[in-house]
Amino acid sequence: MFKIILSDNKTDFYFNLLAQNGQVILTSELYKNKSNCLNGIESVKNNALNSSRYERKTASNGKFYFNLKSSNGQIIGSSQMYSSEAGMENGINSVKNNAPEGAIEDTTV
């Protein structure tokens, strides 16, 4: 499920993609309006199954994370930090399983 959230500054929007257990598996950038946020969700849905869109990274603290990119190379979502590469791969698989048909919950209304 995608959850649209109003940021702390009360002017920007972002979304989280949640796994079935409610854990956040992907977080978007900030968007100036809800329409662009919804477009970002559609981009995640459209790109989630394309393995080449996942950029695997290692943070300076040695933890692993990934970015999901659109066809133009723009980051459309970033994962949490994982302690292992296997955990990161499980996170990618969770995005692939949850994003394409994910419902949208708008918490800003």
Question: Which backbone phi and psi does 15 adopt, to 5 degrees?
Answer: -130, 155
pLDDT tens series, the chain, 109 aa: 999 999 998 899 999 999 999 999 999 999 999 999 999 999 999 999 999 999 999 999 999 999 999 999 999 999 999 999 999 999 999 999 999 999 999 999 7
Pairing of strands 54-58, 64-69: antiparallel
- Number of residues written out for the chain: 109
What pLDDT does residue 17 have?
98
What pLDDT does residue 109 have?
79
- Cβ atoms of 92 and 66 closer than 8 Å: yes
What pLDDT does residue 36 have?
96
What pLDDT does residue 75 have?
96
Domain spanning 2-106: which CATH class is it, in words?
mainly beta
